[in-house]
Amino acid sequence: MNNSKSILKVLIPLLLGVILVCYSISQISISKLVQYFKDADYFWVILGVAFGILSHVSRAYRWLFMVEPLGYKPKFANSFMAVYAAYLINFTIPRAGELARASILTNYENIPFEKGFGTIVAERVADTLMLLIIIGFAFALEFEFIFNFFITKFNLSTIIMGVLILLLLAILLYVFIVRSGSKIALKIKEFIGGLVEGALSIFKMKKKWAFIFHTVFIWVMYLSMFYITTFALSELDQIPLAAVLIGFILASFSIAATNGGIGSFPEAIVIAFALFNITEDPSRAFGWIMWSTQTLVIIILGGFSLVYLPIYNRKRVSI
């Protein structure tokens, strides 16, 4: 039974990715997509790639602050290569990259697996909080747009009813979590407790401000990477900030939907940009250009990391 669940966890995202790739390609001719790739200004694409690499450099460096209180001083090079190896492995088996990253650090830095994995989970907590802050910022910055969008799509009474229903559901969920002893309620409690505990643990670090700086820097680089790459297509020259923020948010969620966002990434961008009356073809082409270039970098640096890790550490031992 457990084996069947594990297989399904691998196959379902992969199958969904294949379906979305087929759907995406059916919505734009190959020749037109190729033409968009040819016409793109690769100065902006390369600059976006550079921002992406900087975010991963910062991620690798940030992790050093997390293991220092545990009594370990790993090499930055091992942390950097572990990050890229993890991203590459996530393309094959969803969320297996975190386990692989912890294993790499166990093998080459003698950090116990459970401790290494625990720090990686804490990192995810910090990243989740940053994404929630960006969502909140987008909502506050573009409140008028979001409000007007819903007003045009739904009448005011429907919106009020929807808000009241959401509030009622939130209250019921809160009561269920607090009072229920079911497995689902306990898992939700554990998740929320872990989120809070992980967030609070950041402020207990010796170098907490450095950790917070790198966390903010990572997500600034992510946003910059997304925004800068839009300059590569002339059709997206006048793209509004709201479209960038919402596109970035939906694209971030799409990466969790399939292996590395294959198929889902460009379609998430199409959905986001369509809210701002941006035509599908350049939106879809932008999604494919950005996803393919970032993926290519992960394949190159992730593959290099997996090959070079044992060589680099053998040299260290021999010295």
Q: Encode 183-219: b = buried (16+ Cβ within 10 Å), e = exposed.
A: eeeeeeeeeeeeeeebeebbeebeeeeebbebbebbb
From residue 150, how far is each of 144, 146, 246, 254, 260 by CA, in Å?
10, 6, 15, 23, 31
Residue 5's pLDDT is 57
Tell me which of 124 and 14 has the higher pLDDT.
124
Calculate what percentage of the chain has a pLDDT beyond 90. Answer: 34
Please write the tens of the pLDDT for every residue from 1-32: 455 555 556 567 667 777 888 888 888 888 99
Cα(223)–Cα(225) distance, rounded to whole angstroms? 5
Please write the tens of the pLDDT for every residue from 148-195: 666 666 666 666 777 778 788 878 777 777 777 777 777 777 666 655
State the DSSP string of 242-311. Answer: HHHHHHHHHHHHHHHHTGGGTTHHHHHHHHHHHTTT--HHHHHHHHHHHHHHHHHHHHHHHHHHHHHHHH
Tell me which of 218 and 188 has the higher pLDDT.
218
C-beta separation of 249 from 138 below 8 A = yes
Residue 98's pLDDT is 84
Q: What is the mean pLDDT of the chain?
A: 83
Burial class of 275 by CB neighbour count within 10 A (0 to 12, 13 to 18, 19+): middle
C-beta separation of 58 from 221 below 8 A = yes
Cα(13)–Cα(19) distance, rounded to whole angstroms? 10
Cα(300)–Cα(297) distance, rounded to whole angstroms? 5
Q: 45 falls in which pLDDT band (50, 70, 90)?
A: very high
Asked whether residue 59 carries a pLDDT value surpassing 80, the answer given is: yes
Asked whether residue 291 carries a pLDDT value surpassing 90, the answer given is: yes
Please write the tens of the pLDDT for every residue from 253-267: 888 778 778 888 999
Cα(239)–Cα(145) distance, rounded to whole angstroms? 15
C-beta separation of 239 from 278 below 8 A = yes
Cα(181)–Cα(187) distance, rounded to whole angstroms? 10
Global pTM value: 0.80
**Which has the closest alpha carbon to 316: 68, 74, 132?**
74
User: Phi then psi for 142, rounded to 5 degrees?
Assistant: -115, 30
- Comparing 40-44, 233-237, 287-291, the range with the smallest average pLDDT is 233-237
Residue 123's pLDDT is 85
